Structure 1
């Protein structure tokens, strides 16, 4: 007799909310938890269950998907703030699966798999990419690594959330390594796109015309096309904030530093995001890195 796999999702931010919607749309209405109680309750009004605490969610679910910002928040989700035991790991049943979707140091992910295994829990290293719109439509990418037993329980749910679920290894680490490399490219591309648009503005080129030409020429990138549209609209609402790339490019550089591998472009891009952050743009959209360039007049929001 087949049993229904009960899924929980923690973190209803830009990506997590879309992923929860994809699960619900696929017939897996999730239990959800967010530190913003009203966000969980609003989601559950259309299907699913809003949990009042992490232990409540852990006890109710066979698979728990964590969509928080970083390693520290993931540890808090699992073991409670400050390790006080009030996380979901305290109530998850043996054999349950924890799916970790944050961008983290690969070595941290390897260690977490071992730590959860000691508690009888399975783990999938599953960073995500694609942005909020693709998360909401179930078209994002997941870079995963985990034991076969973990996939056996969680794979249908992963497929409900993502159009591409790449299996990169049978233990944690490989998923996070590929995500870190993806973030290297994403961060460098955003920084380069901002530099190119800033030069155009400095030289008096019409920004809309520049955008039109570049997006139909060989110099285009997905990041130029996506992020410079934010600049043209003067809309720095954070879909992915400047400080995300301060963190992620920091992880990139830490990983390379461990093997003394040079990353000159990543280092420069990291400094650009650091400069934008300390200049007061930390919580703005990552396209706000363009604001570090002097002597340019950025497009203004149209009334």
Structure 2
């Protein structure tokens, strides 16, 4: 196995673009693929390969799939123009989307039938860490999949948690992480807006709470977006009805009650319903602000 691999990075969104950049910086030849032609051209301009993916698919060592959800992942792998049937025997797929564990197991089995390795490898860390090659990856799959993808993992991740040799374990761990992450964002928004009703400004909230026991990584990362009135989507509101929905589906199948997750989910659903779905997920604070008659920084009072 050569260290410098030929890699397709499919999905050049806020996370996928950074992953593709990190793979490129790691010395690999990388083809960036997205439905957004401008993103693809931008990547070519930064050093990505310009050939059509179909012309090189049979030569690829690895495919990184960083799309939004399970249906998109399945379409990329096995749809009308699915990549798996174009890959050589022994090539490997790194699947990064948040998906149900059973879906990951199914994808791994279908890839194996075609002689392709599959690593169930959801990611955490945000767009900045993706661009810096510093992601945390919750990975599960056969040892052969880990071996085939080691050069890719070395380029894009700071920490790789190896969670077993069966696909699904990575996605299960990601669901646990997303439960906490989504709840922390919604709770941060609730606490910040609650503070505003008591005369605590967003800036003062961040200054004090980030140094106290009530803080979290999500609070420290997202609360400044609210204080700045900047909802440029690093991670959008729309991600959370999907991800927390996956958590609740898994919980239902396990006959496990997750009431706090359900409450957080409803706040993201409300935010999307108010038209904030494409904004940064910190915009869930606008639900609380509107209900309490508060004006957030950068807002005109109309939300």
- The residue aligned with 1:40 is 40
- Does the 8 A contact of 2:15 with 2:66 survive in 1? yes
SS in 2 for 1:9: strand
Tell me how far apart the structure 1 counterparts of residues 171 and 130 of structure 2 sit (CA, whole Å): 18
- Structure 1: segments with no counterpart, 5+ residues: none
Structure 1 residue 45: deviation in Å? 2.1
**What does residue range 116-131 of structure 1 map to in structure 2 within 5 Å?**
116-131=111-126
- Does the 8 A contact of 1:106 with 1:174 survive in 2? yes
- Does the 8 A contact of 1:67 with 1:101 survive in 2? yes
Structure 1 residue 159: deviation in Å? 1.4
User: Does residue 300 in structure 1 map to residue 303 in structure 2?
Assistant: no
- Does the 8 A contact of 1:63 with 1:99 survive in 2? yes
SS in 2 for 1:69: coil
Tell me how far apart the structure 2 counterparts of residues 2 and 230 of structure 1 sit (CA, whole Å): 42
User: Does residue 66 in structure 1 map to residue 69 in structure 2?
Assistant: no
User: Does residue 280 in structure 1 map to residue 275 in structure 2?
Assistant: yes
Structure 1 residue 21: deviation in Å? 1.2
Length-normalised TM-score, structure 1 = 0.94
Which is further off, 174-183 or 20-29? 20-29
- Does the 8 A contact of 2:59 with 2:88 survive in 1? no
- Structure 2: segments with no counterpart, 5+ residues: none
* Cα gap change, 1:107 to 1:2, in 2 (>3 Å): closer
Tell me how far apart the structure 2 counterparts of residues 175 and 56 of structure 1 sit (CA, whole Å): 32
**Pick from 154, 159, 162: which aligns with 1:159?**
154
Structure 1 residue 207: deviation in Å? 2.0
Tell me how far apart the structure 2 counterparts of residues 42 and 292 of structure 1 sit (CA, whole Å): 35
Which is further off, 170-179 or 291-300? 291-300
- The residue aligned with 1:49 is 49
Structure 1 stretches of 4+ with a deviation exceeding 4 A read 1-4
Tell me how far apart the structure 1 counterparts of residues 219 and 177 of structure 2 sit (CA, whole Å): 15
**What does residue range 123-272 of structure 1 map to in structure 2 within 5 Å?**
123-272=118-267
- Does the 8 A contact of 2:202 with 2:226 survive in 1? no
- Does the 8 A contact of 1:233 with 1:301 survive in 2? no
User: Does residue 76 in structure 1 map to residue 75 in structure 2?
Assistant: yes
- Does the 8 A contact of 2:4 with 2:29 survive in 1? no
- Does the 8 A contact of 2:5 with 2:151 survive in 1? no
Tell me how far apart the structure 1 counterparts of residues 109 and 125 of structure 2 sit (CA, whole Å): 29
- Does the 8 A contact of 1:125 with 1:146 survive in 2? yes
* Cα gap change, 1:56 to 1:37, in 2 (>3 Å): farther
Length-normalised TM-score, structure 2 = 0.94
Tell me how far apart the structure 2 counterparts of residues 247 and 2 of structure 1 sit (CA, whole Å): 38
Over the residues paired in the alignment, what is the CA RMSD in angstroms?
1.6
Structure 1 residue 41: deviation in Å? 2.0
- Does the 8 A contact of 1:125 with 1:145 survive in 2? yes
Q: Deviations over 1:62-112 (max 9, x none)?
A: 1101010001111111123xxx2x121221111110110000001000011
Q: Deviations over 1:256-299 (max 9, x none)?
A: 10011011110110111111111111111111111111221111
- The residue aligned with 1:7 is 7
- Does the 8 A contact of 1:33 with 1:52 survive in 2? no
Structure 1 residue 4: deviation in Å? 4.7
SS in 2 for 1:146: coil
SS in 1 for 2:43: helix
Tell me how far apart the structure 1 counterparts of residues 56 and 75 of structure 2 sit (CA, whole Å): 14
